[in-house]
Amino acid sequence: MALRLTEQPSLYDHLETKSVAELLRDINTEDKKVPLAIEAALPEIERLVTAIEKTIKEGGRMFWLGCGTGGKLAVLDVLEVPNTYGVDPECWQAVLAGGVENLVLDLEEAEDDIDEGWRTLRDKHHITPKDIVVGLSASGNTPYVLAAMKACKENGIPCGSICNNPDSPISLEVNYPVEIVMGPEFITGSTRMKSGTSQKLLCDMISTTVMVRLGRVQGNRMVCANLINNKVIDRLTRTMVERNPGLSYEYCEEIIKKTGGLVKAEAYLKKEGILQ
């Protein structure tokens, strides 16, 4: 069996003999390939994003599903989206091999479990065909992810995938496959590097685009962010002053804190006749 691209030998060798400058330069050279590989897959990414947007607008939920680097990046995305865009955490979730609650334990052996992923979706999250699941697998052949995608397909649940090998097994099991072909890693087989970087960029691209399409951004501002700290309150207050120059900073801050957010603050002031 031919080695998958993600497992083929690095283009660089004798790394232990290189200087710090040489190692950094070579890693940077490889990293530059990531956005170009993503650009080549933009049409496939667009189809996946459109499907996710439709699912959320119709009341369904989006689930990332993965293990290793991809699974951890998915958890990071899920941790940030609700506060950044003020959406219900139920609509944007992650399923991680070994359990999200065990993230710091790094249970790498869980990636070989072919039952856990589907069992978690079915028994814990009560997945239905109204939802959508996106599996992340650098190899495209990770047992945990591949088995869950097959089960989704068998149960009529829309699904997509993100992988880093061409013509991967997982792409055959999903409705919306995305393949970001990165070639050999700088350290042979270390897919936390270029492949992981591509997965991080895609998580950001997908969640951001969906949230913009859902109306959680106005202009270029995160107008629906939760009031989680003073930095966010200040950012929303300055945005409100810019949008309503007749109001003072202190007054906008007071109303934002009172109502729980910028959009709610402006709606309140319109209801009171203070804003048009």
Residues annotated as catalytic are 80, 111
Decide if 265 contacts 256 (C-beta within 8 A): yes
Helices 230-243 and 262-271: angle between axes, nearest 10 degrees: 40
Q: What share of the chain is helix, strand, coil (3-state, %, to 5)?
A: 55, 10, 35
Where in the chain does DSSP place strands (E)?
62-66, 92-96, 132-136, 159-163, 176-179
Q: How far is CA 184 from CA 7, 8, 12, 189, in A?
A: 6, 5, 10, 7
Residue of 2, 1, 3, 6 lying closest to 182 (CA atoms)? 6
Cβ-count burial 25-53 (b if 16+ within 10 Å, e if not): ebbeebeeebeebbeebeebbeebbebbb
Sheet holding 159-163, edge to edge: 92-96, 62-66, 132-136, 159-163, 176-179
